[in-house]
Amino acid sequence: MKLSYLGSFRERHKNELQSDELDKRLLELSALFELSQLLNSSLNLKSILDNILLIPMGRMMLSRGIGLLKKENDQFKIVNVKGVSKDWLDKTVEIRNFPDEPLLVSEFESDFKWVGFFKELQIELLLPLLFQDENKGIIGFSRKLNAQPFTIDEIDFLSSLSNIAAQAIENALMFEQLKKLNRSLDQKIQELNTLFEIGKELNQIFDEPGVLKQLSFSLMGQMLVNQFFIVLRKNSEWQLAFNKGSLFPEAACKEVLSFCDQLSALNKPLMVNDEPEYSGLKELKIQLVVPMDIKGKVEGFIFLGPRMDQKPYDQLQLEFISTLANIAMISIENARLIQETIEKERLEEELNIARSIQDRLLPSGIPAVTDYDIHGLNIPSKQVGGDYFDIIRLNEEEIIFTIADVSGKGMPAALLMSNLQAGLHTLCDEHYTLAQITSKLNQLIFRNTSVERFITFFILKLNCSTGKFEYVNAGHNPPYILHPDQSITELLKGGLILGVMQNVHYEMGYGQFNRGDLLLMFTDGVTECMDPDQNDFSEQRVIEFLKTHGNKLSSKAFNELLVERLDQFAGGFPQMDDITLLTIKRL
């Protein structure tokens, strides 16, 4: 296209083109045109710099060319050399007071240092790259190989060329800067995407290992690091929660735990430097410490080793990693709260089951027995205390009353109670004495439980028509019999609590239950009922109560009043144990 332009120009101006001089001038013009098109269509700085040196060198037989771009102040950086040692590339030269027009070094009289520099490189012609009257750079060439001086026309030509080049260079520089800006913008967007994505993802993860895993992927992908570990504060102690990479085996990570208290004053990421206070961290190859903050309190840290590309951590990335750490910390806290809630719900559920087991083990109704007023009640505590009472009718004449307190609470207590109940009912059907029954129950419980589980147990067999009774007390609170004359009998005979020794001999007690007598069986939930000052209700108050009300009230009214009295005593203070009462009056 350019040739045809040149061709048609020749055609049109045939007559005017007489001298070689003009012809040459035309060639130069067309070269300039060509170059300007070339340069302005390229945004590649390197190719522009190459062209503005190579085109003149080729046309004018110049053996050396140099290109410099102005940096700040009067510093010029050598960005391209042709025929000059490449060692000069990227070197900076200070050039003050460079004129706004081409200059010939050999004719330029001054003692500026840079003049000597160009002389040394055998550069003769220097041209400023002017863009909007501002010096953007300099190109320089050696003398011509044929030793002819530069003509005015040639200098004019090169001058025009450098003006065109200045524009192109400016464009290319702008473009590079834009590209750089674009890239850093893209990187910021990528960071934001990562934060957005992990935020979204973490909302669906409710366990700590899951959160830490997500955190580690985002960290590795975004920061190019695969050497790091995470420490979290758990029950006010620093614990290693995650570690990755060969630099940080568990033992190495644990060495850092002792630094954590000191580091918890951090409110932003810490780049580990050469300061002596960080020498411990530096020795362990930790380069960056990122506090994990929740509600202004540091509850964890990410310790990072070197990046995989060995580049130092960038100040700009710290903002990202800090945000990432805090997002993760919130999720970890949420996960903890959720686990706690689940655990609580599970316990609640377990207690409900235990409560319903206990409920089912207690007698469903009180048998009606002529001449006797019988009433039993159980008020389970929140934790389900493992109290048990039972009324088993053996035949027309005989009834067994029993009360027991299983050690422990909740499900284990309920299960053990269920064991006891099943054993008791089986044994009652056989013709064993109470001592034998108790002894066999002891063995059963001993076999089926660990030593720290045991049962206090009281069993009494009453002949309804004669009022004769026998009993065994295996470590239970002694029941009281209140006689009409206000005297009290304690039923103490028996032996050791059930479940702690394999073979225990139990002694039986005997007695006579007369008209007007009241038998009160109870569990330690009564005597150990506590007032807000931590005083026990105690046996003494039970006896006082018994003496005051025992003769006047029905068994049911007696039991209910006692519960009311206990409530008053406790004064709203939550009770830890079940309350169980079994009261029998002979009318």
Please state the separation of Cα 298 from the chain's center in Å: 12
- Which residues have CB under 8 Å from 277's CB, separation 6+? none
213 lies in the binding site for another protein (CB under 8 A): yes
Whole-number minimum distance, CB 285 to another protein, in Å?
A: 14
330 lies in the binding site for another protein (CB under 8 A): no
Can you tell me the distance from the alpha carbon of 215 to that of 324, in angstroms, rounded to the nearest whole number?
8
190 lies in the binding site for another protein (CB under 8 A): yes
Q: Which of 217, 382, 393, 425 binds another protein (CB under 8 A)?
A: 217
257 lies in the binding site for another protein (CB under 8 A): no
Minimal CA–CA distance to 570: which of 531, 534, 535?
531
334 lies in the binding site for another protein (CB under 8 A): no
214 lies in the binding site for another protein (CB under 8 A): yes
Q: Which of 162, 216, 378, 523 binds another protein (CB under 8 A)?
A: 216
Collapsed DSSP state (helix, strand, coil) of residue 375:
strand
Whole-number minimum distance, CB 191 to another protein, in Å?
A: 8
29 lies in the binding site for another protein (CB under 8 A): no
Can you tell me the distance from the alpha carbon of 268 to that of 322, in angstroms, rounded to the nearest whole number?
7
Whole-number minimum distance, CB 326 to another protein, in Å?
A: 17
- Which residues have CB under 8 Å from 261's CB, separation 6+? 238
244 lies in the binding site for another protein (CB under 8 A): yes
Whole-number minimum distance, CB 197 to another protein, in Å?
A: 5
Whole-number minimum distance, CB 309 to another protein, in Å?
A: 5
Whole-number minimum distance, CB 8 to another protein, in Å?
A: 43
The DSSP code for 572 is T
Q: Which of 51, 162, 218, 322 binds another protein (CB under 8 A)?
A: 218
220 lies in the binding site for another protein (CB under 8 A): yes
329 lies in the binding site for another protein (CB under 8 A): no
186 lies in the binding site for another protein (CB under 8 A): yes
325 lies in the binding site for another protein (CB under 8 A): no
Nearest to another protein of 204, 364 (CB atom): 204
For strands 494-495 and 468-474, give the pairing: parallel
CA angle, 542 as apex, 445 and 357 as ends, to 5°? 35
> What's the Cα-to-Cα distance from 230 to each of 161, 256, 333, 424, 441, rounded to whole Å?
61, 11, 15, 56, 54
Can you tell me the distance from the alpha carbon of 376 to that of 389, in angstroms, rounded to the nearest whole number?
8
> What's the Cα-to-Cα distance from 155 to each of 56, 113, 160, 164, 423, rounded to whole Å?
11, 24, 9, 14, 119
Binding mask 301-320 for another protein (x = CB under 8 A): -------xx-x---------
Collapsed DSSP state (helix, strand, coil) of residue 464:
coil
C-beta neighbour count of 68 within 10 angstroms: 27
Can you tell me the distance from the alpha carbon of 86 to that of 84, in angstroms, rounded to the nearest whole number?
6
Q: Which of 94, 134, 197, 261 binds another protein (CB under 8 A)?
A: 197
* Phi, psi (degrees; rounded to nearest 5) at 328: -65, -40
Whole-number minimum distance, CB 533 to another protein, in Å?
A: 56
Using CB under 8 A, count the residues that bind another protein: 29
Nearest to another protein of 203, 352 (CB atom): 203
Nearest to another protein of 186, 319 (CB atom): 186
Q: Which of 224, 330, 369, 576 binds another protein (CB under 8 A)?
A: 224
135 lies in the binding site for another protein (CB under 8 A): no
Adjacency order of strands within the sheet including 228-234: 237-244, 228-234, 297-304, 288-294, 270-271
Whole-number minimum distance, CB 90 to another protein, in Å?
A: 21
The DSSP code for 577 is S
Q: Which of 163, 206, 245, 527 binds another protein (CB under 8 A)?
A: 245
Give the long-range contacts of residues 243-251, CB within 8 A, separation 24 or more: 244/216, 244/220, 245/305, 247/285, 247/305, 247/306, 248/303, 248/305
472 lies in the binding site for another protein (CB under 8 A): no
250 lies in the binding site for another protein (CB under 8 A): no
Provide the binding-site residues for another protein, judged by CB under 8 A. 183, 186-187, 190, 193-194, 197-198, 200-201, 204, 213-214, 216-222, 224-226, 244-246, 308-309, 311
